[in-house]
Structure 1
Amino acid sequence: MSEANSAAELERLIERYNDAWNAQDLDTILAFHAPGMVFENHTAGERAEGGDAVRDHIGAIFANWPDLRFRGRRLYARDGLVVSEWTATATHADGRRLEWDGIDVFPFENGLILRKDVYSAGHRPRVLET
């Protein structure tokens, strides 16, 4: 992909990226990332940099939350930047079904994600009725 991705192209790319997250497909997720990519969850105070570290970090998320799924709420794309608003659901180890909202900020270069900056309400999720 070229550096000058249109907003529509970036939206489609993030939709495919989100599908890979919901499938917990690490190889596909990492294919969207630029070398040296940074994954930083500002809410949790977690940061991983580079392919191996990002793979390990995301793999640990999936191991801890095997039914984690995201539902997109809004997507804003322009000039090599995407902001994605989402709602996540997952089952906690204690059996509670949880839901929380967040946003991801994605700068792009040459069609690849340079960073994933996560800001969420994961520290105060809503407990869903079971």
Structure 2
Amino acid sequence: MTHQEKIDLLKKFAQAFNNHDIDTLMDCMTDDCIYDASSGAFEFGTRFEGQQAVRESFLGIFKVFPDAQWNNDIHFVDGNRGASQWYFTGTLEDGKKVEVNGNDLFHFKDGKIYIKDSYRKNRV
């Protein structure tokens, strides 16, 4: 994969998140993909491994935040690693709005995203 192809993949992935397009999201990821969520009981947050577990996790995000958007995205690539910065907005079922900065760190493998490691601010 060229540098530009990796950038294009991250842009496609970001757009699929904003469209809540689960099939395109999963097409961008390897069969043995890993998603490390930004929160959880472990030092890496909560880990989801494999297409089915990652799919269910992403669908869970869309259920909790039906209007979720990741805007102002900027993407960086260096070798087999990448990063995206974004501004998340979403509304919880109780009407509470969430607006935070965040980023994802990526590992690429076989022309796809192998690992998505998410970080976001926690407003208090």
Q: TM-score, normalised by structure 2?
A: 0.89
Q: CA deviation at 1:23?
A: 0.6
Q: CA deviation at 1:47?
A: 1.5
Question: RMSD across aligned C-alpha pairs, in angstroms?
Answer: 1.4
User: C-alpha deviations, 1:22-62, integer Å up to 9, x for none?
Assistant: 01011110001111100001434321101111111111111
Q: Distance in 2 between matches of 1:99 and 1:88?
A: 5
Q: Distance in 1 between matches of 2:20 and 2:73?
A: 20
Q: How do 1:104-119 residues align onto structure 2 when only pairs under 5 Å count? A: 104-119=104-119
Structure showing greater radius of gyration is: 1
Structure 2 residues without counterparts, runs of 5 or longer: none
Q: TM-score, normalised by structure 1?
A: 0.85
Q: How do 1:1-130 residues align onto structure 2 when only pairs under 5 Å count? A: 5-44=1-40, 45-121=45-121, 123-124=122-123
User: C-alpha deviations, 1:59-116, integer Å up to 9, x for none?
Assistant: 1111111100001343211212111011100012221222101110111012111100
Identity rate, percent: 29
Report 1 or 2 for greater relative contact order, CA contacts < 8 Å, sequence distance ≥ 6: 1
Aligned residues: 120
Structure 1 residues without counterparts, runs of 5 or longer: 126-130
- 1:70 and 1:88 in contact (8 A); partners too: yes
